[in-house]
Amino acid sequence: MAPMDMDQEELNLKEDLLFYFMNPCDKYRARRQIPWKLSLQILKIIMVTAQLVLFGLSNQLVVSFKEENTMAFKHLFIKSYSGTDEDDYSRTVYTQTELTNSIFFAIDQYRQIKNISLGTIAYDTHEKHKGIRICKHHYRRGLIHPSNDTFYIDPTEETETECLHIDQELLTSKPYLREISIMNSSFFKFEFYRLVKIEISFKLKGIDLQTIRVRELPDCYLFHNKIIFNNQAHSGKIKIFFDSDADIQDCRDWRISGSAQKNSHYVLVFDGFVILTCLTSLILCTRSIILAVKLQKRFERFFLERRSRRICSSDRLEFINGWYILVIISDLMTIIGSIMKMEIKAKNLASYDVCSLLLGTSTLLVWVGVIRYLGYFQKYNVLILTMQASVPKVLRFCCCAGMIYLGYTFCGWIVLGPYHEKCGGRVRSRCDWRSAGGGFGHSVLRLARCGGVRSLSAVMGAVRGEGLVSLCCEWRSAGGGFGHSVL
């Protein structure tokens, strides 16, 4: 190759490298190249955020409908429900009469649900086995005599399950439940020393009509309800749990007069524009990465041929723009989420949670991607460079503080956990944060009132709480110090 050609190749490579590492403003000044990707990202931020807000409002109606129906079911089917759950269960019973009355109360409420419910609730007429199902789980073998301090229980074997299905026609035809209890007297005779739990399961259907107010098509729901009487502790206290899972189904036949259908078409068209915008952004960013890889290979080949040196991995990574990868990931998530949103809008799909995850994460990545363009301004660039330099130190501090925090968590769980009303039974580190705010005093006082050896645990709990408060203060100081150094 002639020296002139070699100099021209080196000059072209320098110009390409200089142009590649320019920001969009400098590129426009150098070659009058319009920053299409920058303009597209700004447009995408507006459209993706608007799409997220629209879907969020719709999803909020879905979640509120499920939660309000669950609360209504608790009031309908749990006898003497106060309106607030006791920790993670709804109510407790302490006598055999209370247990039996609660079971028959739920059956009777299910029997007359059409006459007492204020909502759009009805029986599932398309179910094969219509009605209510009662199952009791108990140990296969057991014998207990507390007066003699003798017992025999074999918990290694699987619990035995005995179920009773009460048909819907039988419930509606019988005005009272006395005949049902007489006919199945052996089933409702419980051996409480073997009884583990009782489950009452039934299905109901409902229609969410509140979406019409926002000009959306209503959803049809199938509620899988289950009332659980938990006697696993055998402590004389049976906890009542209520579980309701809602499945969104296609409405078989519906007619709506007005502009709800037209409004749905407008939203679908807007979602189509979002998909088209993200697809264009995806193509442009992919093209930029491909061109960057080609430029990287040219640079490596030039150094290998002209300087007989290989480029290190850190220099090669300079050509791969991480922001483009971030944009590509967000575009893919937005496209998939938008397609799912269109299917949900057309009532062909009901995966609200998955769609929320995709759209929410993609919107987060889109807004984070704006930081790249803020770095083109000098004042913002200083802030971003400071954050980049501080991240490793902050992560190292978090690792060290996390080790100390985990030690405090396990120590607090064994010392204070059994006596804290919110921490019993499971490891919950959030109890330590309550303790750091002063909640540990409640557990310490309960320990001190016990007296004896437990007073030592009270003293240890107080010392531990003070230490955790100091740790939290140091953590806050580290966060404030980071902000101070940035300023």
The pLDDT of 103-123, averaged and rounded, is 88
Contact 239, 270 (CB under 8 A): no
Please give the mean pLDDT across all residues of the chain.
77
Alpha-helix runs per DSSP H in 78-203: 96-111, 113-116, 168-173, 178-183
Structure tokens at 405: 């925090």
pLDDT digits (tens, 9 = 90+) for 180-218: 766 677 788 888 888 889 999 999 998 888 877 766 777
Task: Indicate if the pLDDT at residue 402 is higher than 80.
Answer: yes
The pLDDT of 19-24, averaged and rounded, is 72
pLDDT digits (tens, 9 = 90+) for 174-186: 555 566 766 677 7
Predicted pLDDT of residue 323? 82
Predicted pLDDT of residue 352? 84
One-letter identity of residue 475:
W
Task: Indicate if the pLDDT at residue 438 is higher than 70.
Answer: no
Contact 302, 355 (CB under 8 A): no
The pLDDT of 461-482, averaged and rounded, is 51
The pLDDT of 447-452, averaged and rounded, is 47
Categorize the per-residue pLDDT at 261 as very low, low, confident or very high, splitting at 50, 70 and 90: low
What are the boundaries of each domain within the chain? 1-33, 69-249, 262-374, 378-486
The DSSP secondary structure of 349-372, one letter per residue, reads ---HHHHHHHHHHHHHHHHHHHHH
Place of tokens 């902000």: 483
Say what angle helices 260-302 and 3-20 make with each other, to 10 degrees: 150
Q: Which residues, other chains included, contact 348 with Cβ-Cβ below 8 Å and sequence gap of 6+?
A: 250
Choose the most confident range, by mean pLDDT, from 302-306, 334-338, 370-374: 334-338
Distance CA 39, CA 45 (A): 10
Distance CA 80, CA 97 (A): 14
Distance CA 291, CA 288 (A): 5
Predicted pLDDT of residue 345? 80
Distance CA 312, CA 259 (A): 63
The pLDDT of 457-465, averaged and rounded, is 51
For 363, other C-beta atoms within 10 Å of its C-beta total: 22
